[in-house]
Amino acid sequence: MKKGQNCPFFAMVRWKSQWKGGLKAGVVIRNKKDAPGRKRGIPISIFLDWVEELVVAIVLIAAVFTFCFRIITVSGTSMVPNYANGDRILMINRFTAPQQGDVVVIINVLDDPIIKRVIATQGQTVDFDYEKKAVLVDGQPVDETAFGLENGITEYPYASFQLLEFPQTVPEGCIFVLGDNRAVSEDSRYQVVGMIDQRDVLGKALFHVFPLHRIGPAR
């Protein structure tokens, strides 16, 4: 037997030495974040990139809806049956001249903005044939079925507002507008509204967004 081979003291020293070496090696070789089964979190730089992209997207959307589009709530019944009170439409801000048939939002005419349909543009002559209940533009009846309406819906107005005298030629830079519900609409037939300066056209109806069963392109 070699000296100290079976001595409990030396055996204890060897065991403690191995234990310390193993512990030290564990600290050096293995790191907590590399431990098996431990999930690694999202790096803070990636998270900040996501936040930055989200903020930029929100700002862009806000800018688009400020300068290009708006959601407008219809007030009143002058555009029935196409637009009822409380309906919401997506409006695009005016960048081009309004055309016949466009549904436009108008400001600076009455106390509140109004929504009407363009019937005639600059240089065109407007008149009414009350026997046939028709609107005439340059002597021709307007086909209102193209607007989702029936022909023969324009009767002589009995409102208390003073009427313009017809025929009328639309001045340069102006439009002539009517409501789809002619019986109740305050529009270009009346002196209180008259011909609309195109600069007072806020925008054009683009999309019907509410109520849900009427979602679709504006008509």
Neighbours of 160 (CB within 10 A): 6
CA-based R_g, the chain, Å: 38
160 catalytically annotated: no
Catalytic residue among 20, 116, 160, 204: 116
Q: What are the φ and ψ backbone dihedral angles of 2, each rounded to 5 degrees?
A: -75, 155
Catalytic residue among 2, 17, 78, 160: 78
With tokens 């400020």, the residue in question is 66
Contact 101, 120 (CB under 8 A): no
| Residue 3 burial (C-beta neighbours within 10 Å; 0-12, 13-18, 19+) | exposed
16 catalytically annotated: no
Tokens of 117: 């349909």
Residue 137 per-residue DSSP state: E
Q: Which residues are catalytic?
A: 78, 116
